Amino acid sequence: MKVIADMHIHSRFSVDGKDDMMTMCRAAVDRGMRYICFTEHFDMNPRDYGFGYFAFKKFSEAIDMARDEFGGTISILKGLEFGEPHLYPKEFETMLKKDFDVILGAVHWLGQFLIGQKELEENFGQEEIFEKYYTEVLKATRFGGFDILARQSQVKFQS
């Protein structure tokens, strides 16, 4: 199956992204993709290492430049991955008013622990972690307002 869209990618505008947006667009065009959405991280938890990292204006300028360059060959969507929107309703509301095409809702934090962090597994059993994770996901989903619920690849069953 040929993949023509990717609705969840991170460029250098995310704290954990390392690639240049133009390079990523070129790679997507070379693969024959039709739609990509840059969904940069936006985290309001002050413990998050990406707290305060996202620069909306620079990101917007980069999106505009990418659209100028590649607009005829690929649809470049302007997205955001907002962490735990239900915990930060005011900030979430502010971001919703901006010109994003797509907003992902994500759960990265379970209380004071970041998912994937060793301390989480030291303090809780696997079942407890899943319980906590899906409870938080349910809260985020009931709160709503976003377009897509982001998948958390760090929550896995160990065999």
Rounded to the nearest whole angstrom, what is the least distance from the CB of residue 38 to Zn ion in the complex? 10
Rounded to the nearest whole angstrom, what is the least distance from the CB of residue 159 to Zn ion in the complex? 25
Nearby residues of 75 by Cβ (< 8 Å), 6 or more positions away: 34, 35, 36
Which 8-state DSSP code applies to residue 86?
G
49 and 42 Cβ atoms separated by less than 8 Å: no
Which 8-state DSSP code applies to residue 115?
T
Size of the site for Zn ion (CB under 5 A): 1
Task: Return the range that interacts with Zn ion (CB under 5 A); candidates 15-23, 52-60, 77-85, 109-117.
Answer: 77-85
Rounded to the nearest whole angstrom, what is the least distance from the CB of residue 72 to Zn ion in the complex? 27
* Pick 12 or 69: Cβ nearer Zn ion: 12
* Pick 81 or 84: Cβ nearer Zn ion: 81
Rounded to the nearest whole angstrom, what is the least distance from the CB of residue 4 to Zn ion in the complex? 20
Task: Return the range that interacts with Zn ion (CB under 5 A); candidates 50-58, 76-84, 112-120, 136-144.
Answer: 76-84
- Give the residues across from 105 on adjacent strands: 82, 149
92 and 47 Cβ atoms separated by less than 8 Å: no
Which 8-state DSSP code applies to residue 85?
G
- Give the residues across from 114 on adjacent strands: 109
Contact status: 81 vs Zn ion (CB under 5 A): yes
Chain residues that interact with Zn ion, rule: CB under 5 A = 81
